[in-house]
Amino acid sequence: MAKGKERRIGNPSGFKDTLPAEKLLFNRLMEDLSQVVESYGFSPIDTPEIEWLDTLRGHDDSGGKLIYRVFNGYENPEEGANLDSVMDKGLRFDLTVPLARFYGQHANELPLPFRRYHWGKVFRGEAAQTGKGRYREFYQFDADTVGATGAMADAETAAMLADAMQKLGLPAVVKINNRRLLDSLVEVGGIDDQEVKSRVFTAIDKFDKIGKEKVVAEIAEATSPEFGDLVDQYLSVSGAELEKIEQLRELLGSSPAAQEALENLGGIISMLHASGYEGRVAVSPEIVRGLGYYTGAIFETYVEGFEQFGSVASGGRYDRLIADLGGPNQPAVGASFGVSRILDVLQSSGWESDSQTPAKVFMVNFSPKLSDVYFSVATELRQNNIPTQVYSDTKKVGQQLKYASELGIPYAILIGEDEHAKGTATIRNLETREQEEVAMSNLVATLIRLLAKE
């Protein structure tokens, strides 16, 4: 216990417990996302949560102060020791730095292109805003392709995002842009000051929040009315996806960067439209994806009716990042699902589980004398893929049924001494309170039929 302090209880701010109802939803989400990315041949990997601080900091210490350092008792430094020399390990703050380290380390054992997905916890020592869903320990789910240059891998990333939303039952649009198109916009506009470029992109990035007019006004003020007009035209392209590409070509086609970007976008849209994704993907010149490390196609995913939640899954092409992080010089493209945000949307759209348990049947325990009967009936149900909980001890029947109802178990089975003597069981619907008595020999079949209707 820390000297001179109260013993701390509970969990530290920014670190979250997940109770059964929410965890059951989370597991369903991970299963669905895994199934979708596996359908594209992404392979699962795992890496340690602890890496060398050198790896996490990279060449430019971009993780900075948010990195949690770790050390154990054996490494416990004398007070006054140089901390940097002792505490040389830390907790990962994303899954991209580990991918670069992992790919660099195992390149000889891995295929190229290498498609991996990875989900797990990441840690950020930022100010926690638990009310707003910002935690210090949270999950990420990433799927990336290392070593592929063409539009095929880009298009697959967009399709994977659209498939995931469909799998989750969420109507969504995957917005697609290309960073080279944004580069061409400032190039054609004659903006070459790096600081001004950043202000332009930052302004465009606010499109979804403040609307086109304010973005254009902000940019016109920071640059010139003429460049404001160009941005206005850029953000006003409309019509079918291929028409938007045509309008962008007219506007920016003089720039080699734009030609490259529009060829990429054209290829992506062509593949997606040939494959039934029309209406679920959109060329969106307004998306920027921050000022980060993207070099080509970029993606953001908005759920219809939940646009205010922001993008729930996003990504893009980052052809220089893996080398920058100390890995081999390989192009890459991928996307990240915003796990917490998707859970928020799912819960807001009725995916909420009213059950705290996977059990579908609850076995009332009338008497220790019948333990063997309860146990063998429960075993038979489990063998028929019906998750079953037997009440562990004997308590009043009403209390047992209340317990099962509160857990959200749909059916209870009652076998008292009378029923046992007759060879029957009573099945009780815990929501409607209706019950029926069935012969033991019909119990499994009846439950399978009832549960199929749930």
In the region spanning residues 202 to 261, those forming contacts with a second copy, defined by CB under 8 A, are none
- Window of 152-160, 187-195, 214-222, 292-300 that interacts with a second copy by CB under 8 A: 152-160
In angstroms, how far is CA 234 from the centroid of its own chain?
Answer: 31
Instruction: Identify which of 294, 328, 334, 267 has the alpha carbon closest to the alpha carbon of residue 45.
Output: 334
Q: Which is nearer to a second copy, 37 or 235 (CB)?
A: 37
In 315-416, alpha helices (H): 321-324, 339-348, 371-383, 397-407
* Min CB(270)–a second copy separation in Å: 6
Can residue 431 be called a binding residue for a second copy (CB under 8 A)?
Answer: no
Q: Which is nearer to a second copy, 115 or 244 (CB)?
A: 115
Question: Does 113 sit behind a cis peptide bond, omega within 30 degrees of 0 on the bond before it?
Answer: yes
* Min CB(345)–a second copy separation in Å: 19
- In angstroms, the CA 398 to CA 401 distance is 5
* Min CB(341)–a second copy separation in Å: 17
- Binders of a second copy among residues 13 to 72 (CB under 8 A) are 15-20, 23-24, 26-27, 34, 38-55, 57, 64-72
Give the SS3 label for residue 453. Answer: helix
- Binders of a second copy among residues 300 to 319 (CB under 8 A) are none
- Binders of a second copy among residues 370 to 389 (CB under 8 A) are 371-376, 378-379, 382, 385-389
Instruction: Identify which of 340, 348, 312 has the alpha carbon closest to the alpha carbon of residue 138.
Output: 340
b/e per residue 355-367 (b: at least 16 CB within 10 A): ebbebbbbbbbbe
- Binders of a second copy among residues 389 to 418 (CB under 8 A) are 389-394, 403, 406-407, 409
- Binders of a second copy among residues 324 to 363 (CB under 8 A) are 326, 356-359, 362
Instruction: Identify which of 173, 119, 154 has the alpha carbon closest to the alpha carbon of residue 340.
Output: 119
What are the Cα distances from residue 353, in Å, to 97, 216, 346, 453? 35, 44, 10, 17
- Binders of a second copy among residues 276 to 295 (CB under 8 A) are 276
User: What is 214-280 written as a DSSP string?
Assistant: HHHHHHHHHS-HHHHHHHHHHHT--SSHHHHHHHHHHHHTTSHHHHHHHHHHHHHHHHHHHTT-BTT
Q: Which is nearer to a second copy, 217 or 323 (CB)?
A: 323
List CB contacts of 369: < 8 A, sequence separation 6 or more. Answer: 417
Q: Token digits for 335?
A: 């996307």
Instruction: Identify which of 183, 165, 442, 210 has the alpha carbon closest to the alpha carbon of residue 294.
Output: 183
Q: Which is nearer to a second copy, 128 or 217 (CB)?
A: 128
Can residue 94 be called a binding residue for a second copy (CB under 8 A)?
Answer: no
Q: Which is nearer to a second copy, 47 or 446 (CB)?
A: 47
* Min CB(355)–a second copy separation in Å: 9
Site string for a second copy, 100-129 (x = CB under 8 A): -xx-xxx--xxxxx-xx----x-x-x----
* Min CB(27)–a second copy separation in Å: 6
Size of the site for a second copy (CB under 8 A): 132
* Min CB(328)–a second copy separation in Å: 12
Give the SS3 label for residue 129. Answer: strand
Can residue 157 be called a binding residue for a second copy (CB under 8 A)?
Answer: no
* Min CB(254)–a second copy separation in Å: 25
* Min CB(94)–a second copy separation in Å: 15
Q: Which is nearer to a second copy, 3 or 238 (CB)?
A: 3
* Min CB(1)–a second copy separation in Å: 5
Instruction: Identify which of 3, 16, 9 has the alpha carbon closest to the alpha carbon of residue 339.
Output: 16
